[in-house]
């Protein structure tokens, strides 16, 4: 177990006496994590680079779509993209997260390892964009693998080069968001570029990792036949690594967060896809030989 680093401005008694720490030990949010409250900027940057701390928005134990079995899903803070349909705009800025000790995160995984093994579950890092904090995430994954716990990375792949080949070794499954099949649409949706996602998927495939592709279907934005065909061709370039494709219909569950943060919401009046569109898109992927959920 890695030793907890010593920082100039934080001591253990400061953590346990602080109101912030107390609020983090309630169920939900950052329950049970020791957070290095009081770090100065230089300490935080150094610890972030080494992976001794990570900036975390929240975590949860669930049995949803974040990988197989019962999972501990950790939502990291910070994201370089600005997707029009983002459900978690409150995770965009890393500074809005809480710094969490590496060993506190590892202890949390250890606490639930028997549950994970019994349900064939594990730990999933999501976000935000978890690849913004590669040292922290990869060190937790390495510790999890040593415990025999399944690991899953939920990512857009946009920060492909942040992950080394060595880091890839500790990933069992990647939930890869392929947000569009062409550069123009991808930039319109996210503000970023598509190629890094393709590169990362191909690296995962070469490394023998499994991929669940996620594609968000937004009428008038990502639903054109041409765009879907291009996404399918990208997925084909990942070969047998792709276990299935999740076609996720757009919804408005994230809209209240945009309003609360006073961020102009570009899809304010957007409707979700109808049954016919969902069926057509699913059949397009099936025609390429993919299993679709």
In this prediction, residue 17 carries a pLDDT of 40
Q: How far apart are CA 177 and CA 208, in angstroms?
A: 18
Which is nearest to 149 in space by CA: 90, 107, 200? 107
Q: Which residues of the chain have pLDDT under 50?
A: 1-2, 4-28
To the question of pTM greater than 0.95 for the whole model, the response is: no
Query: 160 in the Ramachandran plot: left (φ > 0), alpha (ψ -120 to 50) or beta?
Result: alpha
In this prediction, residue 16 carries a pLDDT of 37
CA distances from 25 to 71, 112, 152 (A): 19, 16, 25
DSSP three-state, residue 39? coil
pLDDT tens figures, 134-166: 999 999 999 999 999 999 999 999 999 999 999
In what helix (H) or strand (E) does residue 214 lie, and over which residues does it extend? strand 210-217
CA angle 81, 248, 235 (to 5 degrees): 75
Count the neighbouring beta carbons within 10 Å of the beta carbon of residue 62: 14
In this prediction, residue 31 carries a pLDDT of 59
Q: How far apart are CA 79 and CA 71, in angstroms?
A: 22
pLDDT tens figures, 191-234: 999 999 999 999 999 999 999 999 999 999 999 999 999 999 99
Domains, the chain: 55-287 (3.20.20.70)
In this prediction, residue 133 carries a pLDDT of 97
């Amino acid at each position: 177990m890695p030793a907890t680093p010593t920082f100039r401005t934080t001591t253990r008694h400061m953590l346990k006496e602080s109101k912030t720490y107390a609020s983090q030990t309630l169920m939900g949010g950052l329950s049970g994590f020791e957070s290095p409250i009081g770090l100065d900027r230089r300490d935080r940057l150094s610890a972030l680079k080494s992976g001794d701390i990570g900036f975390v928005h929240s975590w949860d134990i669930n049995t949803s779509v974040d990988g197989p079995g019962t999972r501990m899903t950790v939502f990291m803070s910070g994201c370089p993209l600005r997707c029009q349909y983002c459900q978690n705009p409150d995770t965009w800025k890393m500074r809005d997260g809480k710094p969490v000790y590496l060993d506190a995160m590892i202890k949390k995984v250890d606490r639930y390892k028997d549950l994970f093994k019994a349900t064939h579950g594990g730990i999933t890092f999501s976000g935000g964009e978890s690849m913004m904090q590669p040292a922290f995430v990869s060190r937790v994954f390495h510790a999890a693998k040593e415990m025999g716990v399944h690991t899953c990375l939920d990512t857009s792949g946009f920060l492909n080069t942040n992950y080394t080949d060595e880091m890839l070794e500790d990933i069992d499954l990647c939930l890869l968001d392929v947000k569009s099949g062409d550069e123009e649409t991808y930039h319109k949706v996210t503000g970023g570029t598509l190629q890094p996602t393709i590169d990362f998927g191909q690296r995962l495939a070469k490394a023998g990792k499994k991929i669940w592709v996620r594609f968000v279907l937004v009428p008038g934005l990502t639903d054109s036949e041409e765009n879907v065909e291009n996404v399918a061709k990208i997925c084909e370039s990942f070969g047998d690594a792709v276990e299935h494709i999740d076609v996720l219909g757009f919804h408005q569950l994230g809209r209240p967060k945009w309003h609360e943060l006073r961020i102009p919401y570009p899809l304010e009046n957007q409707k979700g896809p109808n049954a016919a569109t969902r069926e057509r898109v699913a059949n397009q992927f099936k025609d390429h030989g993919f299993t679709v959920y």
